[in-house]
Every structure is written in structure tokens, then in C-alpha cells.
Amino acid sequence: MNWHFPFFLVATVTLPSVCSQFNPLSLEELGSDTGIQVFNQIVKSRPHDNIVVSPHGIASVLGMLQLGADGRTKKQLTTVMRYGVNGVGKVLKKINKAIVSKKNKDIVTVANAVFVKNGFKMEVPFVTRNKDVFQCEVRNANFEDPASACDSINVWVRNETRGMIDNLLSPDLLDGVLTRLVLVNAVYFKGLWKSRFQPENTKKRTFVAADGKSYQVPMLAQLSVFRCGKFTL
């Protein structure tokens, strides 16, 4: 059974100055830790919604921002990500290379882009560094016409997620006067379960939605032993 997981992130980011005590974690654990921090904030603000996040996508967008930040903002981003002042680009480049390696059996693509307001000048080191670390492309957008800018971004997202995300942004999410940059990340994954589900075990079972209503839906099932983890919201 093949599974497609397209993820998309768009960022104009404001971060709370909250960090946990530093612990020596692996690169993968640091990325997941950052994702969980953001996940917790989203869940608190939208307690009745279903939330799915990509930890690597979150880390990538924050990393892109960190490469162009300075002063207090850079310090906050570095503290949250915990890769060190000069380690953000180096670490994320290494992780990204491992994720999209052709040695992997699964299909994984990661795409990043900066949509910049027409005529807005960006610092060359920011553009160069993001291109080197994240293979980030820079595209112009007419934010004074939110509908046009949305179309441009949505077409990019649609292409990078192979049509899985068709229409993400709406014009009301963009401020035609204030918007200067929109940073986007798209992750496409297609692969097989390590422990495959047998089709004959798929049966209709009761699913209770957020509104309390019950629905009969097809559910995969298997009996096995798996490693798991937990975190506190």
C-alpha cells in the first residue's frame, strides 16, 4: 500500500521566547523537538482542529528565517532550534541531504522558496546562503494584488506536491500593503509501511469526529509490537 503525505508550510513567523533546558539530542531529535514545540502552540490556538505538521518542514522555514535574521530575532530563532549560532545551516543541510538521498527506497522531495514583493531588495548573502543550504528559489510576487500573488504561490505548491495540495492560500491571508516576503516549504513523501497492513484486515469501524458524531469508516488494522513515544501538550 502506497501512502502520499504532502506537507506545506507558509511562514510569517512570530515565536514566543520559550525554550527548554538544553539536552544533548541527535540531529533528528532536535528537528522533532522543534516541530513538537510549534505543534504545541498550534494545538493550543486550535484545540478542535485536526493538526498534522512536518518537523523537518518547520525546521527548514525557521532555518531560512534564521539565515536572514539579526539581533534579538536571530537569538530567539537560534535558541528555539538549538543548533547553535553557526550550526543551523550546516545541520539542516546535512539532514536535508539524508532525507532526499537516492539510497532511500521511499520517494521524498523537499522544496523551498521565497516569494518576494516586486522591487523589494534582498541582501545577497541571504539569497546565496539559502540557495546553498535549502536549494531555495527566489520568485517575485505582486503582493499589492493579493489574488495574483496567491495564484502564483498556489501554483508552486500544486507543482511541488504533485497536485496533492491544490489551493492552500486565499487572498485574505495576505496584506497587500505590509507583506514583503512569504517563505514556503513543501515536503512530498510516497512510500510503503515498514510493517505492511494486510487488505483483508481492513474493516469498517466506528470513528468519532471532533463534533462528537460517529461515522463508519474503513480502518487499517494489524497486531504487532511497535516502539512509541509521548510528549505533554
Q: Look up the pTM and report it.
A: 0.73
Q: Which residue has the cell 521566547?
A: 17
Q: Of 22-26, 132-136, 222-226, where does mean pLDDT reach its minimum?
A: 22-26
pLDDT at residue 6 greater than cutoff 50: no
Can you tell me whether residue 220 is helix, strand or coil? coil
Can you tell me whether residue 189 is helix, strand or coil? strand
pLDDT at residue 20 greater than cutoff 50: no
* Dihedral, 5, 18, 75, 65 alpha carbons, nearest 10: 20
pLDDT tier at 167, thresholds 50, 70, 90: confident
As a whole number of angstroms, the distance between CA 103 and CA 212 comes to 44
CB atoms within 10 A of CB 76: 18
Report domain extents, the chain. 2-6+9-192
Q: Which residue has the cell 469498517?
A: 204
Largest CA distance in the chain: 58
pLDDT at residue 24 greater than cutoff 50: no
pLDDT tier at 137, thresholds 50, 70, 90: very high
pLDDT at residue 233 greater than cutoff 80: no
Each residue's pLDDT tens digit, 29-79: 555 677 788 888 888 898 888 888 888 888 889 889 988 888 999 888 888
pLDDT of residue 81: 79
CATH of domain 2-6+9-192: 3.30.497.10
Please report, for residues 52, 112, 146, the alpha-carbon distance to residue 142 in angstroms, rounded to integers and kept in the order given. 30, 19, 7
